[in-house]
Amino acid sequence: MLNYLFRRLLLGLAQLLGLVIVVFLILQAVPGDPVRIMLGERVPAEYVETVRERLGLNEPMLTQLWTYLTRIVTGDLGESVTFGQSIQTLVASRMEPSAYLITYGLLLAVIFGGVLGVFAAVRSGTVADFTLRILATALLAMPAFWVGLVLALIFGIAWGLFPVSGYQPGLVGAFRTLTLPAIAIALSLVAVVLRTLRSSMKRVLDSEYIEAARARGYSENRVLARHALRNAVTPTISIVAVVVGFLIGGTAVIEQVFSIPGLGSLLVQAVERRDYPVVQAIALLAGTVVIVAGLVADLLQAALDPRVRNAIRNG
Amino acid sequence: MSEHVRDDELLQISDLRIGFGAKPGEASPIVHGLSLSIGRGRILGLVGESGSGKSLTCRAVMRLLPDGGHVLSGSVIFDGRDILAMSKSEVLAFRSSEIGMVFQDPFSSLNPTRRIGSQMIEAIRNALNLSKEDAERRAVSLLEEVELPNPAAKLRMYPHELSGGMRQRVMLAIAMAARPSLLIADEPTTALDTTTQAQILELLRRIRDVDGTSILLVSHDFGVIAEMCDDVAVMYGGFIVESGPVEEVYLRPKHPYTKALIASVPTLAVPERGYRRPTIPGPPLGTTPYASGCPFAPRCALARPECEDVSMTLLPVASAHTSACPFGGE
Ligand SMILES: Nc1ncnc2c1ncn2[C@@H]1O[C@H](COP(=O)(O)OP(=O)(O)O)[C@@H](O)[C@H]1O
Ligand code: SF4
Ligand SMILES: [Mg+2]
């Protein structure tokens, strides 16, 4: 296990390095002069040059990459060109709503998808299972922003249960303002988790060691909890890591729909203003979360299933 | 039927019919009125080719028929109680302490993600009210009984770290955890090489000799049955076609199917070049649903028009030896 842990951590570091390089290249890939695009046509040429120097863009590319890397490692994200403050301050002020929204959405997707997935597998072939499958297919086809608008109309405007825009800090405020957006981004992911868990649970329930466990006189609850679920969860964990990526993407849209001042709406603003350093910082943050989610998923799987550790040791 | 219940029998199956379908009323029958009994401390062989209904019969005794499988009629009397009439909680208690089962594939019948020790201790504590420490001690002594070297170390291993033979020994140890009076072994050696197969069979026989456990041993290989069993029931197409003491049936088979099965047993002698093991000609089982008469008729060399009307009741041949073919003895 230690050997595996070490190798997986190394892989995570390599992924982070790759991420930083890709994010660095965002600026290089901008067609034309990025500084000119950021500042607009009316700014005098001397000022463009000053900003170019401040961003280090007059250096050779490899030097730029090295500077960028060392800055990132020391936690320095740089200055925003158009918001007039350091990117750290900017990102920190927008972090809370997005972090809560993603966590909330993830909890909803995992809890509801998990419970319904196990239920559908245990009741496989019944009307309940069939209904859930139809529902899952329908949910998958519904875009999050549309679900968000419908939820806002029904629960926010018609019934007045939740506010339909803005964000209030703190747990209670976050619960009030983020419930509808979290449901909107989680609904299709509930379907993803449900389907994955249902199919792996069904496969596990058909296996001989489950029959052998029943033959030993174990109660059905013990068979499900101690033998089936534990083994069926492994493939679902990888999917949950992918789900985290989708959640992050989903927040960009849904924060706009519900006017939540989070990182998603900051990203949209930064893109509109062509503030590339801010875009880079957010991309870096999102990519890091996805890489860490993948790392956690792999380590969890290895902890739960000795065959995973073994396959990697031999492979 | 109860007038035939003898008190030296541990298990008595009478007229058991099993079918598959959405509901019992719509089920198409697969096992047709099967009767057999196992004496205390005896080994009964259930032999027949794949698809004849051996595993379904075992699962009916365990009350573990797969989804869609139904017992349509009959009784399964174990030690005076009808298993088929037991409540759910009675079934759990029965499975955990009075009967043990070993499966065909030792590579898939242990949970791959849990250590041997954890699986054994779980089974032991589920059957017997023991502390964790006592259960672990018992696990070690059970592994010693099935002759696994270094048992304490084995408890910390995962199934994939053991060979097939070792895993089957672990399965046997778990099955014997509560000293059940009946052990069901459904093709326990089919997935193993011949050397390991002989060792596992030897172990089964010792379990019977030492503990007095009755064993229902399922196989498609008459050679295994002849070597291991006291009694044999030959199964074909959901019927018992012949039954009796094993040496009697092996040496003087009466049913044409039994004869064909015995002829297909490989001998220990090295076969001459060009020798081909006789196989049973005709369509294999399960290609057509059973209608009436003798199910072996499409493949039987002795088949005649009357075979379509054979009732498939077991007719006495000699003391305790019966056959369902009225024509095979001629
Ligand atoms: N789960 C199932 N669903 C439908 N039919 C089944 C199922 N299991 C077994 N059968 C039927 O019962 C027959 C006997 O099966 P089985 O008892 O497993 O045979 P054996 O163990 O003698 O090889 C099979 O040929 C098949 O037609
Ligand atoms: S009843 Fe007829 S078909 Fe069946 S085994 Fe006897 S002779 Fe063959
Ligand atoms: Mg079978």
Nearest to B109 among A208, A226, A231 (CB): A208
Q: Is the pLDDT of residue B198 over 70?
A: yes
List the single residue in B with minimal CA-CA distance to A227.
B111
- Ligand 2 binding pocket includes B180 (Cβ within 6 Å): no
Helix or strand (DSSP H, E) at B233:
strand B231-236
Interface predicted TM-score (ipTM)? 0.91
Return d(Cα A264, Cα A145) in angstroms, integer: 13
Write the pLDDT tens digit of every residue in A215-245: 999 999 999 999 999 999 988 999 999 889 8
Rounded to 5 degrees, what are φ and ψ at B33?
Answer: 65, 55
Identity at B217, one-letter amino acid code: L
Chain A residues with CB under 8 Å of B121 CB are: none
Q: Is the pLDDT of residue B42 over 80?
A: yes
Q: Which residue's alpha carbon is at the smallest distance from atom 4 of ligand 1?
A: B20
Contact of A12 with A20, CB cutoff 8 Å: no
Contact of B132 with B121, CB cutoff 8 Å: yes
Chain-centroid distance, C-alpha A239: 11
pLDDT of residue A37: 81
Query: Which residue stretches of A43-170 are H helix?
Result: 45-54, 61-73, 87-122, 127-140, 144-151
pLDDT of residue B2: 41
Query: What is the bridge-based pairing of β-strands B214-219 and B43-47?
Result: parallel
User: Is A218 in Cβ contact with B108 (below 8 Å)?
Assistant: no
Q: What percent of chain B has pLDDT over 90?
A: 82
Cα A195 to Cα A191, A244, B129, B281, distances in angstroms: 6, 17, 39, 46
The alpha-carbon gap from A190 to the nearest alpha carbon of chain B, in Å, equals 26
Please tell me the distance between residue B59's alpha carbon and the centre of ligand 3 in angstroms.
Answer: 10
Candidates B195, B204, B236; CA nearest to B57 is B236
List the single residue in B with minimal CA-CA distance to A308.
B113
Of these ranges, A240-254, B21-35, B58-72, the one predicted with the greatest mean pLDDT is B58-72
Write the pLDDT tens digit of every residue in B105-138: 988 999 999 999 999 999 999 999 999 999 999 9
pLDDT band, residue A185 (cuts 50/70/90): very high
Contact of A253 with A265, CB cutoff 8 Å: no
**How many Cβ pairs closer than 8 A exist between chain A and B?**
68
A 72-91 residues inside an 8 A Cβ radius of B: none
Return d(Cα B36, Cα B314) in angstroms, integer: 11
Return d(Cα B16, Cα B36) in angstroms, integer: 9
Angle at A142 between CA A137 and CA A144, to 5 degrees: 135
- Ligand 2 binding pocket includes B215 (Cβ within 6 Å): no
Return d(Cα A92, Cα B298) in angstroms, integer: 81
Please tell me the distance between residue A224's alpha carbon and the centre of ligand 1 in angstroms.
Answer: 25
Pair of tokens at residue A119: 């239920």
